[in-house]
Amino acid sequence: MPDAPASLLDTWRGTVLPQWVDYNGHLNDAYYMVVFSQATDALMAMIGLDEAGRKATGHSIYTLEAHINYLQEVKQDAAIVVRTQVLGSDAKRLQIYQAMHRADDDTLLAANEQMLLNVDTTAGPRAAPFAPTVLARVQMLTVAHKSLPQPKHAGRRIALPG
Protein backbone atom coordinates (compact mmCIF):
# COMPACT_ATOMS: atom_id res chain seq x y z
CA MET A 1 0.00 0.00 0.00
CA PRO A 2 1.34 3.47 -0.88
CA ASP A 3 1.50 6.14 1.79
CA ALA A 4 -1.98 7.13 2.93
CA PRO A 5 -2.86 10.63 1.71
CA ALA A 6 -3.70 13.42 4.18
CA SER A 7 -7.14 13.81 2.67
CA LEU A 8 -10.56 12.40 3.36
CA LEU A 9 -11.33 8.96 1.93
CA ASP A 10 -14.01 8.64 -0.73
CA THR A 11 -16.19 5.88 0.78
CA TRP A 12 -19.61 6.12 -0.91
CA ARG A 13 -21.12 7.54 -4.09
CA GLY A 14 -24.68 7.02 -5.23
CA THR A 15 -28.19 8.39 -5.34
CA VAL A 16 -31.04 8.40 -2.83
CA LEU A 17 -33.22 5.37 -3.63
CA PRO A 18 -37.06 5.45 -3.67
CA GLN A 19 -37.24 2.88 -0.84
CA TRP A 20 -35.24 5.22 1.44
CA VAL A 21 -37.56 8.23 1.35
CA ASP A 22 -40.53 9.15 3.56
CA TYR A 23 -43.99 10.38 2.58
CA ASN A 24 -42.48 13.82 1.86
CA GLY A 25 -39.99 12.41 -0.67
CA HIS A 26 -37.02 13.09 1.64
CA LEU A 27 -34.36 10.65 2.80
CA ASN A 28 -35.81 9.11 5.98
CA ASP A 29 -33.69 9.65 9.10
CA ALA A 30 -33.06 5.91 9.48
CA TYR A 31 -31.74 5.54 5.94
CA TYR A 32 -28.93 8.05 6.35
CA MET A 33 -27.48 5.27 8.52
CA VAL A 34 -27.87 2.71 5.72
CA VAL A 35 -25.64 4.91 3.55
CA PHE A 36 -23.12 5.48 6.37
CA SER A 37 -23.07 1.74 7.08
CA GLN A 38 -22.16 1.03 3.46
CA ALA A 39 -19.45 3.72 3.70
CA THR A 40 -18.07 1.87 6.73
CA ASP A 41 -17.98 -1.35 4.65
CA ALA A 42 -15.89 0.55 2.08
CA LEU A 43 -13.48 1.71 4.81
CA MET A 44 -13.22 -1.88 6.05
CA ALA A 45 -12.15 -2.94 2.57
CA MET A 46 -9.52 -0.14 2.54
CA ILE A 47 -7.91 -1.49 5.73
CA GLY A 48 -7.96 -5.07 4.45
CA LEU A 49 -11.23 -6.32 5.93
CA ASP A 50 -13.23 -6.96 2.78
CA GLU A 51 -14.81 -10.41 2.49
CA ALA A 52 -11.50 -12.08 1.61
CA GLY A 53 -9.71 -10.26 4.45
CA ARG A 54 -12.41 -11.21 6.95
CA LYS A 55 -12.07 -14.83 5.90
CA ALA A 56 -8.26 -14.78 6.09
CA THR A 57 -8.09 -13.12 9.53
CA GLY A 58 -11.27 -14.47 11.14
CA HIS A 59 -11.89 -10.84 12.13
CA SER A 60 -14.64 -8.35 11.44
CA ILE A 61 -15.62 -4.84 12.56
CA TYR A 62 -18.56 -4.11 14.84
CA THR A 63 -20.04 -0.66 15.39
CA LEU A 64 -20.07 0.19 19.10
CA GLU A 65 -21.51 3.70 18.89
CA ALA A 66 -22.72 6.18 16.29
CA HIS A 67 -23.66 9.85 16.55
CA ILE A 68 -25.48 11.43 13.60
CA ASN A 69 -26.10 15.10 12.96
CA TYR A 70 -28.90 15.69 10.44
CA LEU A 71 -28.11 19.00 8.76
CA GLN A 72 -30.15 19.19 5.55
CA GLU A 73 -33.08 17.45 3.94
CA VAL A 74 -32.10 15.21 1.03
CA LYS A 75 -34.47 14.47 -1.84
CA GLN A 76 -35.06 11.22 -3.70
CA ASP A 77 -32.59 10.69 -6.60
CA ALA A 78 -30.16 13.27 -5.16
CA ALA A 79 -26.54 12.36 -5.95
CA ILE A 80 -24.52 12.15 -2.73
CA VAL A 81 -20.99 11.30 -1.65
CA VAL A 82 -19.59 10.23 1.72
CA ARG A 83 -16.05 11.12 2.76
CA THR A 84 -14.39 9.52 5.77
CA GLN A 85 -11.78 10.84 8.19
CA VAL A 86 -9.98 8.67 10.74
CA LEU A 87 -10.07 10.56 14.05
CA GLY A 88 -8.14 8.06 16.13
CA SER A 89 -7.36 4.43 16.81
CA ASP A 90 -5.84 2.02 19.29
CA ALA A 91 -4.94 -1.68 19.14
CA LYS A 92 -8.53 -2.75 18.49
CA ARG A 93 -10.64 0.40 18.00
CA LEU A 94 -11.11 2.87 15.17
CA GLN A 95 -12.83 6.24 15.64
CA ILE A 96 -14.09 7.74 12.40
CA TYR A 97 -16.03 10.70 11.03
CA GLN A 98 -18.22 10.39 7.92
CA ALA A 99 -19.43 13.46 6.04
CA MET A 100 -22.34 13.15 3.59
CA HIS A 101 -22.28 15.85 0.88
CA ARG A 102 -24.48 16.70 -2.06
CA ALA A 103 -22.40 15.70 -5.09
CA ASP A 104 -23.15 18.73 -7.25
CA ASP A 105 -22.50 21.68 -4.90
CA ASP A 106 -20.71 19.89 -2.02
CA THR A 107 -23.27 21.04 0.62
CA LEU A 108 -22.78 19.13 3.89
CA LEU A 109 -26.00 17.12 4.42
CA ALA A 110 -25.21 15.01 7.48
CA ALA A 111 -22.29 14.00 9.66
CA ASN A 112 -21.76 10.74 11.48
CA GLU A 113 -19.14 9.85 14.07
CA GLN A 114 -18.56 6.18 14.85
CA MET A 115 -16.55 4.04 17.21
CA LEU A 116 -15.68 0.71 15.59
CA LEU A 117 -14.32 -2.40 17.30
CA ASN A 118 -12.27 -5.21 15.79
CA VAL A 119 -13.71 -8.61 16.75
CA ASP A 120 -12.57 -12.19 16.37
CA THR A 121 -15.66 -13.84 14.90
CA THR A 122 -14.23 -17.32 15.39
CA ALA A 123 -14.19 -16.85 19.17
CA GLY A 124 -17.53 -15.70 20.45
CA PRO A 125 -17.33 -13.11 18.82
CA ARG A 126 -15.05 -11.16 21.16
CA ALA A 127 -12.93 -8.00 20.94
CA ALA A 128 -9.46 -8.69 19.54
CA PRO A 129 -6.43 -6.65 18.43
CA PHE A 130 -6.33 -5.84 14.70
CA ALA A 131 -4.40 -8.36 12.60
CA PRO A 132 -0.86 -6.96 11.92
CA THR A 133 -1.47 -6.04 8.26
CA VAL A 134 -4.78 -4.37 9.19
CA LEU A 135 -3.19 -2.52 12.11
CA ALA A 136 -0.49 -1.15 9.81
CA ARG A 137 -3.13 0.39 7.54
CA VAL A 138 -5.16 1.71 10.48
CA GLN A 139 -2.06 3.40 11.91
CA MET A 140 -1.03 4.82 8.55
CA LEU A 141 -4.46 6.41 8.08
CA THR A 142 -4.52 7.66 11.68
CA VAL A 143 -1.18 9.42 11.23
CA ALA A 144 -2.07 10.77 7.78
CA HIS A 145 -5.39 12.22 9.01
CA LYS A 146 -3.95 13.83 12.16
CA SER A 147 -3.08 16.91 10.12
CA LEU A 148 -6.67 17.38 8.91
CA PRO A 149 -8.90 19.85 10.77
CA GLN A 150 -11.08 18.39 13.56
CA PRO A 151 -14.65 18.28 12.18
CA LYS A 152 -17.20 20.60 13.79
CA HIS A 153 -19.72 17.77 14.22
CA ALA A 154 -17.45 15.29 16.01
CA GLY A 155 -17.14 14.86 19.78
CA ARG A 156 -20.65 16.17 20.39
CA ARG A 157 -22.95 15.37 23.31
CA ILE A 158 -26.73 15.69 22.83
CA ALA A 159 -28.12 18.51 24.97
CA LEU A 160 -30.82 21.18 24.94
CA PRO A 161 -29.38 24.65 24.26
CA GLY A 162 -28.70 26.89 27.25
What does the binding site for a copy of itself look like in residue numbers (CB under 8 A)? Answer: 24, 28-31, 33-34, 36-37, 62-70, 88-90, 93, 95, 113-115, 121, 154-161
d(CA 33, CA 55): 25
> What's the min distance (Å) between Cβ of 37 and a copy of itself?
4
Question: Which is nearer to a copy of itself, 10 or 22 (by Cβ)?
Answer: 22
Question: Which is nearer to a copy of itself, 1 or 19 (by Cβ)?
Answer: 19
d(CA 64, CA 158): 17
φ/ψ bin of 134: left (φ > 0), alpha (ψ from -120 to 50), beta (otherwise): alpha
> What's the min distance (Å) between Cβ of 157 and a copy of itself?
5
Rounded to 5°, angle at Cα 111 from 162 and 142: 110
> What's the min distance (Å) between Cβ of 2 and a copy of itself?
27
Pairing of strands 108-120, 126-127: antiparallel
> What's the min distance (Å) between Cβ of 115 and a copy of itself?
5
> What's the min distance (Å) between Cβ of 73 and a copy of itself?
8
Instruction: Please check whether residue 47 is in contact with residue 1, taking contact to mean a CB–CB distance below 8 angstroms.
Output: no
Please name the residues in contact with 75: beta carbons below 8 A apart, sequence gap of 6 or more: 16, 21, 25, 26, 27
Question: Which is nearer to a copy of itself, 115 or 136 (by Cβ)?
Answer: 115
Question: Which is nearer to a copy of itself, 19 or 147 (by Cβ)?
Answer: 19
Question: Which is nearer to a copy of itself, 92 or 137 (by Cβ)?
Answer: 92
Instruction: Please check whether residue 94 is in contact with residue 138, taking contact to mean a CB–CB distance below 8 angstroms.
Output: yes
